[in-house]
Amino acid sequence: VTDSHSQKPQPSELVRQVTPKQAARAIGVSESSVKRWCDQGALPNLRTVGGHRRIPIQDLMAFLRAKHHPLVRPEELGLPATSGQTPRILDRAEEQFRQALLAGNEALARKTVLDLYLAGHHVSAICDQVIASAFHHIGDLWDCGQIEVYQERRGCDICLRCIYDLRSSLPDTPTPELIAVGGSPGGDPYLLPTTMIESVLRETGWQATSLGNDIPLASMAEAIRETRPKLFWLSVSHIVDEDAFLADYAELVRVLPGDVAVAVGGRALHESLRQRMTFAAYCDNFRHLETFAATLRRSLLQVIV
């Protein structure tokens, strides 16, 4: 740790560490309270070479989350400042989040998601009930000609940044040996679901990495060979040719190491397709995926210990 951390963060990316003064301003308490929490061990912190306290941002977020403490000045942490209160109830937040996306109000969208996280909601619940739900509505509005295409596209970009905020806020996994990888298959342009799954699984204690979208299944097999995951997810929102997909999928499963569990999901995986696929779990939302991943993690840890 060096002493070079005194610059004011830009509201584009979360900063990695903050001083007690920045933390105090961000959460609206005195600097001495923050220092006391640090010294009592309630707030994990590091020391610079000069002996000054630095608080890793993930630890600050975990602390706020555990204490249900609001983030009053997000700009101190490199987040855009916003006016107005964020509803901390998921159903109400969905509307605010959707309106923020459609209006291009990135600051409000990011704060909505982060406030829900700080209020203690699971990443899976935020993704299912706020983000996915907002996009289902947005799809319907687009279908009825009530919004412009650019509003949907801009909303997707803003949403990705909201998901990256969540990912940066999550504590490091206590079990980095439990690797999960996944993505969306070749020809699938949908990026949001697999990006969200990465954070959902990270919160569940997995060292998860999304490979992205539009990845040929043969290339996914290479990624699996290289990274040796225990969990592989496939999010399928669009299939160009179902027969070709099933053939590629069967080949992927054939070369898969025996200790990899496969979880599949996505709007394009209708029942008759699923009947011709082999997998450990199919889930129709992220909450169910989280439950499966948590159970799998527990059973793997029993074997490791």
Binding positions for ligand B12, rule: CB under 6 A = 128, 132, 135-136, 138-140, 142-143, 152, 156, 189-193, 196-197, 233, 235, 237-238, 263-267, 283-286, 289
Give the span between the Cα atoms of 77 and 19, in whole angstroms. Answer: 10
Cβ proximity to ligand B12: between 8 and 153 the closer is 153
CB of 154 to ligand B12, least distance (A): 11
Residue nearest to ligand B12 (CB): 265
Beta bridge partners of 46: 54
The DSSP output letter for 205 is T
The DSSP output letter for 49 is T
CB of 304 to ligand B12, least distance (A): 24
Cβ proximity to ligand B12: between 1 and 246 the closer is 246
Cβ proximity to ligand B12: between 45 and 124 the closer is 124
Cβ proximity to ligand B12: between 219 and 291 the closer is 291
Cβ proximity to ligand B12: between 63 and 249 the closer is 249
CB neighbours of residue 305 within 10 Å: 5
CB of 183 to ligand B12, least distance (A): 10
Across the chain, which distance is largest between two alpha carbons, in Å?
64
Determine the distance from the C-alpha atom of residue 139 to the mean position of all C-alpha atoms in its chain, rounded to a whole number: 21
| CA torsion, ordered 275, 131, 195, 72, to nearest 10 deg | -150
Give the span between the Cα atoms of 70 and 116, in whole angstroms. Answer: 10
CB neighbours of residue 87 within 10 Å: 17
Cβ proximity to ligand B12: between 5 and 137 the closer is 137
CB-CB contact of 200 with 169 (8 Å): no
CB of 286 to ligand B12, least distance (A): 5
CB of 250 to ligand B12, least distance (A): 18
Residues 6+ apart with CB under 8 A from 39: none
CB of 224 to ligand B12, least distance (A): 15
